[in-house]
Amino acid sequence: MLKFITLSSLLLAGSGIYWWSTRPPEPVAVRLEGTLPQPTALTPTPRARFTPTPANRKGYYNIDVVSDFTLPATKTITFCGAGRNLHVQQDRDKLFRRGFSAVEQTRMVPGVEIWTDGFPAAGWRSQLKPSQRSLILYQDYFANPPFELGWARNSEQASAVTYRPPANARTMRNTLFNASAELGGGCVAFGDCPPGSLKSTFGHIFLDIENEGTSYGNQQEQANLYTFMIKTIKENVSPQTKVGSIAPVPHNSFGNSRADHYGAKPDWLWNTPAKHTATSRRRGMPDDIIGKSYADFVDFQMPGTYYLYPDFDYSARHTGNGDRHWLASLLAEQEVNRRLSPKPRIAWHWLFNTQNADYANSGKAEHPAPPAVAEGMGIFYWFTGAYGVLFWDDHKDLVPDQPSPNDPALKGLANDRNYACYEHYIHGLWRVFKHHGDLFNGRETYLNEQTDLSVDGGQTWYKYNANQLKTRDLPFVRAIVNGNQILVAATKPYGRPNQTSQVMLRYVENGYNFYTTLTLKGDEIFLGRATMSKGAARR
């Protein structure tokens, strides 16, 4: 999980040079011809009534702020957050009835969900289905014993990595092949290895190595290693196991949502084909990956946004092209990357600010996402057509109501944080999937930046991407269409409590002639649905 961002990492991301891109053309306004059709009111989605955990209570959240609901089979959310220990002993399955579909192995219940002490007892089997199991492989997995691949911490060592052990050194383990292939033994911990073989039975494996940036002259070595690694892992997991990595992604905007990102090209490490270098054959690189790239083997991409404190600061400026903006960042990262690759998208979601000493109040992850931001993450993200989420936290177990530490360096860390943001996030998931899960059946259409909007009473219509909505300081509206059903999410980010915003939306495709007007209050997250009728469209 990328927790630290510096100015140099923004400028040197990926290839060691800043990406080149072109600014997309401005959207063309469409004037309405004729009389504005009669609007159709959206039916607002209910909100759960709950009292959030008060700000002075630390290390606790209430997972029961909403009733039972489950995720559609077409989506996935892995829980690698904090505080499962608060409820798991009373009800082990509750996590899966609060919108999460899988749990990361460090949050699993030993002896019940995963076997952690040697080989399991005869006949023992995990109570988790394969689809409910996830694994994160951090940098230490590769860099520490037994594999000791220093390359994981320093990509400049790529040319020193051994791909496969020589034929006369079968016991040699510090190779990329061993580190990748030995993941197959993961099935032992669940008691369900295929007969006569070792194939990992995790539903998802997420790589978090974070060594993708390297010097220009080292890029081919790096591309070769990433291609070999992902291919080898895929060969040692079950057919149902999906594998992806926090990096590379086709494009990483680092939460900036700039206009020129919409013209970006795929990052070099994403799709550079493998080819032999002066030493690669001697180090064991096989010929069967030549011409193939990381993108050819990976199952999903992981574009996503980690927030800095300015994203949570309502008093900061948020409308400049380079200004930070929580919703523009969340949407733009998906809008850009879905154009660059058809691979399913899974984002890391963390509800606290990323640690970054270059930004005021971002030195520690002590600031939780405000209520509308946390709820909005659980709603708007799914309007991009994304496949899943890895819900992450840098802390595991929570101990409620601990006294505030005397050491200032410990304030705002772990049990000294307020976790009400979790309640708002789960509430957002509940509003979408408890009430509209039927729309996520694989036949839905995500309008994204093709959502047709008007802010002048229906006389002029625009289709704006997230950056354009940000820089014009407009309400954000996104829609999903499935048959004659339309689901709409809308908000005025950073809106003042007494502020009212109005925007119109229309859908005049596929024979439908649907118009509606939205009145938004403050920065509340509106969610509503309607049945559309067909009729002659007005353009």
Task: Specify if 72 maps to a domain.
Answer: no
Residue 172 within any structural domain of the chain: yes
Let me know if residue 231 belongs to a domain.
yes
pLDDT for 20: 43
Q: How many domains does the chain have?
A: 1
Least confident piece of the model among 67-71, 145-149, 359-363, 460-464 = 359-363
46 occurs within a structural domain = no
Band (pLDDT 50/70/90 cuts) for residue 57 is very high
Instruction: Look at residue 259 and tell me if it is in a domain.
Output: yes
Task: Decide if 481 contacts 474 (C-beta within 8 A).
Answer: no
pTM of the model: 0.94
pLDDT of residue 538: 53
Strand partners, 133: 103
The SS3 call for residue 214 is: coil
Residue 489: inside a domain, yes or no?
A: no
What is the domain range of residue 223? 129-293
pLDDT tens-digit series, residues 110-169? 999 999 988 998 899 999 999 999 999 999 999 999 999 999 999 999 999 999 988 776
The answer to whether residues 352 and 365 touch, using CB atoms and an 8 Å cutoff, is yes
In a domain, 254, yes or no: yes
Which positions ≥6 away from 498 have C-beta within 8 Å?
Answer: 522
User: What's the half-sphere exposure (Cβ side, CA atoms, 13 Å) at 199?
Assistant: 14
Mean pLDDT over residues 237-251, rounded?
A: 97
How far is Cα of residue 465 from the mean position of the Cα atoms in its chain? 19
Is pLDDT at 506 greater than 60 in this prediction? yes
Percent of the chain as helix, strand, coil, to the nearest 5: 30, 20, 55
CA atoms of 527 and 379, how far apart (whole Å)? 8
pLDDT band at residue 408 using 50, 70 and 90 as cut-offs: confident
Residue 487 lies in a domain: no
Phi and psi at residue 522, to the nearest 5°: 55, -130
Whether 26 has a pLDDT exceeding 90, the answer reads no
Averaged pLDDT of the chain: 93
